[in-house]
Amino acid sequence: MNRELNVGTRIDHPRYGEGVISRNGQLSYKVIFVRGGEIEFMKSSFEADVIEENDAMPLNEPRLSVKEFETALKMLLDRYNGLEHKVELGSKWEGGTLTLTPGNPGLQSKDMPIETFFHKIVMVRDRLRVLEQNINSHTGLSDEDKINLQQYITRIYGSLTSFNVLFSEKEDYFVGSKS
């Protein structure tokens, strides 16, 4: 085959059957086949019949596979912390200190800037949100399993509502199950 094929073009390969071109690289095509699997073919020796050509993308445009796109998106979200808005500490707590005093008077107290403690609470909340998203999108869990795990997370949020006093904005509060 001497002509370039765009990503999304449906083909019929003599050995593997019907498939769709998922990547058009400099020297090779990657094809996802209906019967399963993704195979990379060198362009110089690629032989297949075109079932339906995809003309939507110009041939000279750079192409990313789904996997490459996911990797790039993950990298950007990690770099910019998921593009989440900044959670503000309530102004009355700014510059404050959290003092942990042990019940044994012979032991020393521990002081910590409230900002440090608040940051750790926000990190817990953000990680719980990521856990929720991973559970909800997990293909190996049944709906019943997802609901059961979600109930535990909701209870954890409920346990953390005591820390809502630290937040500047009400929309940032922890919310447990509502009665």
- How many other CB atoms are found less than 10 A from the CB of residue 5? 20
Cβ-contact 40, 24 below 8 angstroms: no
Looking at the whole model, is its pTM more than 0.75? no
Residue percentage of the chain with pLDDT more than 70: 82
Distance CA 27, CA 7 (A): 14
- Predicted local confidence at residue 131, as pLDDT: 86
Tens digits of per-residue pLDDT, 24-38?
888 999 998 887 778
- 140-155 in b/e form (b: 16+ CB < 10 A) is eeeeeeeeebeeeebe
- Give DSSP secondary structure letters for 61-89: S----HHHHHHHHHHHHHHTGGGPPPPPB
Tokens of 34: 């209906």
CB distance 153 to 132 below 8 Å: yes
